[in-house]
Every structure is written in structure tokens, then in C-alpha cells.
Amino acid sequence: MSATYERPAADGSRLDAAPVLEPERPGPERPGPDDPRHDGPESAGSAPSRAALGAEPDETPAGRAGHRRREPRRMPRWPLLFVGYLALAALLLRSLWQDPDGRGYGVSDATLFSWYMGWVPHALGHGMNPFVTDAINFPDGVNILWSTPVVLLAVLVTPITLLAGPVAAFNTLLALALAVSAIAMYGAARRFVAFWPAAVAGLLYGFSPYMIGASFGHLHLTFAPFPPLLLVLLHDLLTGRRAPRRTGVLLGLAVAAQMLIGEELVATSALVGALGLLILAARAPSAVPAAVGSLARALGWCALVAGVLLAWPLAVQLAGPQRVDGAIQPHDVAVSDLFTFAIPTTMQWLAPDRALAHSLRFTGSPVEVSAYFGVPLLALLAVLAVRLRRDGLVRVLTPLFVLVAVLSLGGRLHVDGRITGVWLPWALVEQLPLIGSALASRLSLYLTLFAGLALAIWLDQHRSRPWRRQAAVALLTAAVLVPLVPAPMRAEPLRSPEFFTTAAVEVIPRGSTVLVAPYPRPDVPDAMLWQARAGFRFDLPGCYCTVPGPNGGAQFHGDPSPLTTALLRVEEGSLTAAQALALPGLRRAYEDLSPDAVIVGPAHNRAELVELVTGLTGRLPVEKPGGVALWGETFRA
């Protein structure tokens, strides 16, 4: 990714903004080497410098005789900035590092993603299909592409998984996700502003309420360098910086990579990008024919590259077993309440009780209520929309912010937790394939991107002002960002019984089917982590995964049976073991499954579960390390 600082013109607008959709032309005023706007040496009359992630050029033409002289190398600053972002991420996630392979945020989702960390390299290392397996939800199996398997990330951190464990790999990726997303936003902003304003844009994007909320188990959403990268590539395409073919190839690679991390960001980025292009076209209709040609060529190359790279996973997802029909998530739940933008939630450090009295009414989980900006920042953005209206980029960002904010409200307007009868544009989007499964509240990611760019442009215009003005602007920026500071993040244990982490588990032959209680399901998926720590040596009935239900729609657990009903009700305490053993169809369901072994691990009402399984098997268990009771059917336990 290249990133170039494009100097503001004398009237405060960006030189690349007029006319839009045409290659920018250098302005008549060129800053000298001592000018604070100077971003590196340039030859007279050359285009603005181009530098990777803000790095200055290493060599430049000099002299009237055509000779070249080598300028002293200057160390790029973006690696140090990335280290700073990474240190901040580590600080925010500090409660993880007490036990990086035994603690996590968002326990159920953290367990699921940790399972992916183990499963993907295990499957590839053993020549198995990583996308379809009956290792969980046995015997029906699961097509994990209908979940969020972050396949590419799982492959990249395989060494950490092998050395430190799947939970440690997941937690490492979580910290990297914040820093990588922030530095990607910095790189995109460097196209338009200087180093420090771009760094602020990266900070806002990478550590926004959206990012903090997604950190509670949603790695596919937290790892979000794709939207800033898409901005860079579209900017290249529309300004003629790079040939359409090359831009299309790079975009195809980016799309393929993101699809193997999470499909939702591809879908929502495409939607927001299309809206942005429509706004640009409305501003410069005469430039549309030429831009359409370049865009069509680039998208053609993008489709070709991405299609080739994604042919196998897409074929498995769309035509393979355990395909899911319709939307994955229910509509009209995870949306932005009208009050969301101004009222903090439990995720913010500054959240008075009076504010929480309102935000706790919002529908959906608090981690999905992510469009909070706070009144000070909203007020500043409104002022900037007016004061910077001559800036070409701001003239695009302002209507785009409004449109995306409206879409984030969902299909029906929510006001202070009440669902009104007012229908909104997202109701139409929900009917579309792929993007219809996206959650409207997650569009707040793009709102922080737009806000970060607007703030960066404003800060950039004050760099040449007197130091008192610069200090005042810096203090004001810090003040409006303070309400976004997250509340302390508390990690919870993700521990596994000693039996699964030592050689003791080898008593179970590889390839066995093992029924485990607590039975794995969305709220208690512990057995999936135990399976991963045991090296996937046994198949597991039950799951926390996306599978087709009886009507083909999505459900997040296996099909119920008298056996699973008995296990769940005994665990929750609504039935005793004796009552469960009298359930009709229970013994037949157990015989149909015919597991090679049964395990009862640490669980609620463990004694009753042990009594239930003892009644089913007709045998007493063997106690194993870590509070594990084991019944072996086809081997000596």
C-alpha cells in the first residue's frame, strides 16, 4: 500500500478533490524542504511523493544537468507508530496476559474461535478438508464456512497454536487485529494528510467502540484493515495513480484474503463503497463515462483473481453439505438505536448511571451497540462538515456518513429501546443475498472511518498555524475523544481439565466418538475447547456452530434429541437423573448414537449427570485427572 500526503491548496481544499474522479494535478505552490507540509524531497514539477505507509522517498532526481544524487535515508515512522498501537492494544487487553492460553473475552465466542485456531492447521496438516467436518456436530457434521472460521488468520498463527495453544493464538490475533486495523487506517489517511493527523485517524478507527465491542469474541470483525485498503485502491483507481488492471488484481487479492477472514466486511464494504461512488458520480457527472470504464476493467480483474483464489471455498460453501439458507442472524435486533450515537453503554469508561438507564434498554448485546460517538465528537463533526465544506473529500464524507448512519438504524427505527413502526432503508437491504445476513449496527465501523478522516483533515489544516492554535486544537481533539475511552475489559477463564491436556487422554483411541457433558452448545461450548486441546483425537456430538435447521434456516446447535434434552435438563437442574432416565426415547437415542466413550467433565449438577450416564451405560465411570468421569465402551478406560 502506498500512502501520499497531498498538500492542501490555499483555500483549504484538497488538491485532488477538484475535479473528482480525475487524476490530481500538482498545485502551483510547492512547499520547500523546511515547510512543515513537505513530505520528502521532490524534483521540480514532479507529482506528489509516493511512499509506503508514509515513508519518505529514498532517492530523488536533483540538479539541472540530469545527474542524480542520493538523499540521506530517513527511517520511516510508521513501524514505530505500529509498535505504539500494538502497545496500546496490549494495555487494553492486559487481563489476558496473566494466562494467555487460559483466559478470553466473550467466553463462548472466544472458545469457538480458539477451536478454529486448532482445527484449521490440524485439518490441513492431516490432509483433511478444513471447511467440512464431522469432528463436531457428529454425525451430521458442519460446513464451517457458514460460521466465521477466519481460515487465513488460523493458518498464519499456526506456530503460536502449536507452541502456546489455541487460546493463546486467538488472543495474540486479537491484539494484532486492533493494531493492524489502526495502522491500515493510518496508511489510508496518509493519502490526504500528514503523519500526526493520520495517526489520530488510525487511533480513532483502530480503538473505536466498534473495535472494543468486537474484541469480545468477534475476531472476524475486529481484524478490519480491509475498509481502509479498499479506500486506498479506489482512490488509486479514480485518480489514475495505478493502472486499472494492477488495481483490480490488488483488489482481488484483498477480497480473497478478507473472504477467508470474514465475509461480512466484504459485503458491507462493497455496499458503502458503492454509495460513495454514487455520491462522487453525482458531484462530477461529466467524469462518469471515463471512470466507469476504469472501474469496470478493475472490477473485472478483481473478479477474476478473487474467483480463482476462492473457487474451492465458495464451491464448498454454496454447493457443499450442511448448506444454510436465508439470513444467519435475526433481523431488527442488532441495530443502532437513535440514542446510540450520543448515549454511552457499559462498554465505556465514562458511563453515568442516568445514561446506562437508557442504553441498557437498547436491543441486542452491548458489544453490538457500537455506534457511540458522544455529544462532543458529534458536535465537532457537525461543525467540521460546515467549515470544511470546500474540501472535496469532506463533501463526499458528509453525505456518506449520514447515509450509513441511517442504514445502521436497521429496518425499523428504534428509539430508547422501543421498536417503532417507522420503516427504514435497511429493510430493503435485509432482503438481498449475502449482505442480508449482515448486522446493521456493525456499519458503525465505517462511521468511525469517516470521522477519523474528517478529524485528520481538520488537524492537518492547523499544522502551519501558530503553536498556541495547534495546542488548542490538540486539546480539543483529545477532549472530544475522551468519552470513547473503553471501560476496563475483564477476561474470564477458558480452562480445560488436566485429562485433555496430558497424555492421560491417549486412553481414548484416535477416531473415537465421545459424548461429552456439559453437552456443547452456544452458551456452554467448553467441550469443543477440550477436544481441540486433545488434538482432535475424538469426534464430538453437539456444537456451537452454524448448521441448517429442520427448514434449512440457520441454527447454532445440532438437532435436538431425547438424549440431548436429558443431558441439558439435568445439567440445568430442571430434571433429576432418575426423571431423565424415564424419558421416552432416551435409550433408543443413546443406542443410535452409540458413542465409543462418554465423558462428564466439570459441570453444573455434575453428580446428577454422572448418575444419568451411569444409568444409560450400566457401568460405573473411571475418574480421571481434572474432574473427568470416563465411561469406555470399546476400549479399556
Higher-pLDDT residue of 4 and 178 is 178
> What is residue 59's predicted lDDT score, i.e. its pLDDT?
35
> What is residue 70's predicted lDDT score, i.e. its pLDDT?
61
> What is residue 72's predicted lDDT score, i.e. its pLDDT?
66
Q: What mean pLDDT do residues 301-323 have? A: 97
Reply yes or no on whether the pLDDT at 601 is more than 60: yes
Nearest-Å Rg of the Cα atoms of the chain is 27
Q: What mean pLDDT do residues 183-207 have? A: 97
Reply yes or no on whether the pLDDT at 240 is more than 90: no
How do strand 597-600 and strand 554-555 relate by DSSP bridges?
A: unpaired
423-427 contact pairs (CB < 8 A, 24+): 426/335
Q: What mean pLDDT do residues 315-339 have? A: 92
Reply yes or no on whether the pLDDT at 3 is more than 70: no
Q: How far is CA 84 from CA 52, 176, 182, 246, 462, in A?
A: 18, 12, 10, 32, 24
Reply yes or no on whether the pLDDT at 446 is more than 50: yes
Integer Cα distance of 181 and 178 in angstroms: 5
Reply yes or no on whether the pLDDT at 132 is more than 90: yes
Reply yes or no on whether the pLDDT at 51 is more than 50: no
Could you identify the residue written with the cell 490555499? 10
Reply yes or no on whether the pLDDT at 305 is more than 60: yes
Reply yes or no on whether the pLDDT at 50 is more than 50: no
Integer Cα distance of 485 and 287 in angstroms: 42
Reply yes or no on whether the pLDDT at 46 is more than 90: no
- Tell me the sheet residues that pair with 136: 540
> What is residue 329's predicted lDDT score, i.e. its pLDDT?
86
82 class by beta-carbon count within 10 Å (0-12 exposed, 13-18 middle, 19+ buried): middle
Phi/psi of residue 480, each to 5°? -75, -20
> What is residue 47's predicted lDDT score, i.e. its pLDDT?
31
> What is residue 267's predicted lDDT score, i.e. its pLDDT?
96
Q: What mean pLDDT do residues 528-535 have? A: 98
> What is residue 332's predicted lDDT score, i.e. its pLDDT?
86
Q: What mean pLDDT do residues 127-140 have? A: 97
Integer Cα distance of 239 and 234 in angstroms: 8
> What is residue 37's predicted lDDT score, i.e. its pLDDT?
38
* Residues 341, 408 contacting (CB under 8 angstroms): no
Reply yes or no on whether the pLDDT at 43 is more than 60: no
Integer Cα distance of 526 and 104 in angstroms: 13
Question: Cell triple for residue 616?
Answer: 444409560
DSSP state of 516: E
Reply yes or no on whether the pLDDT at 32 is more than 60: no
Q: What mean pLDDT do residues 412-433 have? A: 93
How do strand 512-517 and strand 538-539 relate by DSSP bridges?
A: parallel
pLDDT band, residue 433 (cuts 50/70/90): confident
Higher-pLDDT residue of 249 and 634 is 249
Reply yes or no on whether the pLDDT at 57 is more than 70: no
Reply yes or no on whether the pLDDT at 399 is more than 80: yes
Across the chain, what does the average pLDDT equal?
88
- Tell me the sheet residues that pair with 598: 515, 631
Q: What mean pLDDT do residues 385-409 have? A: 96
Higher-pLDDT residue of 46 and 137 is 137
* Residues 367, 218 contacting (CB under 8 angstroms): yes
Integer Cα distance of 5 and 459 in angstroms: 13
Assessment of whether the complete model's pTM goes beyond 0.75: yes
Reply yes or no on whether the pLDDT at 27 is more than 80: no
* Residues 337, 369 contacting (CB under 8 angstroms): yes
Q: DSSP secondary structure string, 262-297?
A: -HHHHHHHHHHHHHHHHHHHHH-GGGHHHHHHHHHH
Q: DSSP secondary structure string, 162-209?
A: HHH-HHHHHHHHHHHHHHHHHHHHHHHHTTTS-HHHHHHHHHHHHTSH
Domain ranges of the chain: 80-484, 498-632
Reply yes or no on whether the pLDDT at 238 is more than 70: yes
> What is residue 63's predicted lDDT score, i.e. its pLDDT?
38
3-state secondary structure of 310: helix
Reply yes or no on whether the pLDDT at 193 is more than 90: yes
